[in-house]
Structure 1
Amino acid sequence: MWSLLLIVTLLAARRGLAPLIAALRERRLIMPLAASALMIAINWLTYVWAVNHGHVVATSLGYFLNPLVNVALGVLVLKERLRRPQMLAIGVAAVGVTILAAAALTTLWISLTLAFSFAFYGLLRKLTPVAPMTGLGVETLLLTPPSIAYLIWEAGHGGVSFGQDAGTTALLVISGALTTVPLVLFAMAAQRLPMATLGILQYLAPMLQFFCGVVLFGETLSHGQMISFGLIWIALILFATDGVRMARRNRAATV
């Protein structure tokens, strides 16, 4: 609900409420946006449930698997072509992720649900011709009624944390912005970048989480995790190097 308030405020400030209302009335937009809303809802619910039940490793693995699913959708659905360095980078990353997955088979369903739900969310947003903020506004509006119904049910069972103390309430309000901004930026990137590029860039988030866990929180890594993260870093370097090389070639061709 806090995300909805923020989005409506931003759209009103930018005179974007008219496109939002128009999108809600247009079948060719409302259907794919309803599907993308379902995908992001499944992703969020799975993530929150998994974290609250102590399956943090499974969630992190899901976001390591997600870029590979993005690349696969780009090739299979959008018919994107990969250059050889890109294929090499993705292959190296796939080996690294496979090593991580082999050590977490019992909770692999969590990882796969997170990976596929967010990948299909990205694909749907890429294929839907609507502005990022407008699309997110429609998704949030569609998810608001079931969210309110769930909150009412939780309130009846004593499970609502909002209003219990100032700190928790403030965090819940701030979470609206923390949820909205990344999704708007992601939708903008999904419309502008090939799925392969979008996929490989999404390794940055779990790698930054890994960095925070090791450096800030003193978590230890197994040898398998070290090998996996090393391979993923190599894949990122290969992909970035190829991107820089192609950018220089294109720049030289236009001179």
Structure 2
Amino acid sequence: MENRTIGVIYALSAYVLWGILPLYWKLLQHVGAEEILSYRIVASFLFMIALLLIQKSWSTFLHTCQWLWREKKRAAALIAAAMLISTNWFIYIWAVNHDHMVEASLGYYMNPLLNVLFGVIVLKERLYKWQVVSFILAAFGVVLMTIEYGKFPWIALSLACSFALYSLVKKVIKVDATIGLTVETMLVTPFALAWIVHSFSEWSRPSFSLMTMLLLVGAGPATALPLLYFSKGAQHISLTLLGFLQYISPTLSLLLGVFLFHEPFTNAHMYAFSCIWTALLLFSLSSTWEKRKEKSLNM
């Protein structure tokens, strides 16, 4: 099988799993978002440790930890990454289990635009004319939704900003995906364990069934596997193709929210999504066109 085909399979698997992940969190709707997040962090850390042992990458992990101890700035960046991804996870879990899946999907449609915006501001990357137009159109969609819907779409923007900042930090520090996720979950595991211990205190003891406990433990593989598949896919296919495939995830979440869980999809949502979808189409086409133009000039 060709590397490109393997890459597409891995990337598709990652985005489909991310797209249907709300179904998993819905099974835990009776559990508080704070507790789900805590178990998700601890279970993810244990799963990543097991994966490192299976892959015989333990020495690489220890070497990375020693390197981060010496490189204080990179260590601080990884701490920031751990905080950002934890915040993103919490907001998403809360949104799904409080019937805001449609707005959450809007956030992940906005994410690639914010990725480029942060790249321009922080990394001084170049922005093309039609990409500027796409940003203005996306911003107009957010303003329209705020006016028509009567409230600011903080869930969508919080999810988009937290993940875009997380992606920016990861791009700057350049740590292996598996090692990076292990370190990130390790950094926040003490706080997650503290919350779990608190939840089992005498005055707030939760009564979880066996199925609930299994689902909480399963949050580790449910979190780590899509990330690992994504990393594998990114190694074998172009960023352009990866960019187009990434819209599978929020599209699946949007469809689940509207058709399975019957969340409202009002005119305000339609206006906002239409602006975002048009902006994404402009953005993707302009990016592809500019890359082809640069390639032809360099020939």
Deviation larger for 44-53 or 14-23: 44-53
Q: Determine if contact 1:89/1:239 at 8 Å carries over to the other structure.
A: yes
Q: Determine if contact 2:102/2:257 at 8 Å carries over to the other structure.
A: no
For 1:101 and 1:17, the matched residues in 2 are separated by 49
Q: Determine if contact 1:61/1:97 at 8 Å carries over to the other structure.
A: no
Matched, 1:4 2:45: yes
Query: Alpha-carbon deviation of 1:153?
Result: 0.1
Q: 1:179 aligns with which of 210, 216, 223?
A: 223
**Larger RCO, structure (CA 8 Å, separation 6 or more):** 2
Deviation larger for 77-86 or 113-122: 113-122
Matched, 1:81 2:122: no
Distance 1:75 1:172, change over 3 A: same
Distance 1:208 1:24, change over 3 A: same
Q: 2:144 aligns with which of 99, 116, 119?
A: 99
CA RMSD of aligned residues (A): 3.6
Query: Alpha-carbon deviation of 1:210?
Result: 1.7
Residues 65-109 of structure 1: per-residue CA shift (max 9 Å, x gap): 544432321111011112223223333223223322334565655
For 2:198 and 2:296, the matched residues in 1 are separated by 62
Q: What stretches of structure 2 of length at least 5 have no aligned partner?
A: 1-41
Structure 1 length normalisation: TM-score? 0.79
Q: Determine if contact 2:149/2:268 at 8 Å carries over to the other structure.
A: no
Q: 2:172 aligns with which of 127, 131, 147?
A: 127
Distance 1:139 1:123, change over 3 A: same
For 2:103 and 2:263, the matched residues in 1 are separated by 16
Q: Determine if contact 1:136/1:184 at 8 Å carries over to the other structure.
A: no
Q: What amino acid maps onto 2:204 in structure 1?
A: G
Matched, 1:138 2:179: no
Describe how 1:101-116 pairs up with structure 2 within 5 A.
Answer: 101-103=146-148, 106=151, 108-116=153-161
Matched, 1:41 2:90: no
Residues 153-197 of structure 1: per-residue CA shift (max 9 Å, x gap): 001143546xx32332232222212212344466786xx998x99
Query: Alpha-carbon deviation of 1:148?
Result: 0.7
Q: 2:250 aligns with which of 206, 219, 232?
A: 206
Q: Determine if contact 2:134/2:282 at 8 Å carries over to the other structure.
A: yes
Query: Alpha-carbon deviation of 1:37?
Result: 0.7
Residues 48-80 of structure 1: per-residue CA shift (max 9 Å, x gap): 445555655654554455444323211110111
Distance 1:143 1:130, change over 3 A: same
**Partner residue, 2:66:** 25
Matched, 1:223 2:267: yes
Describe how 1:134-173 pairs up with structure 2 within 5 A.
Answer: 134-156=179-201, 157-160=203-206, 164-173=208-217
Distance 1:95 1:207, change over 3 A: farther
Q: What stretches of structure 1 of length at least 5 have no aligned partner?
A: none
For 1:159 and 1:110, the matched residues in 2 are separated by 30
Q: What amino acid maps onto 2:86 in structure 1?
A: A
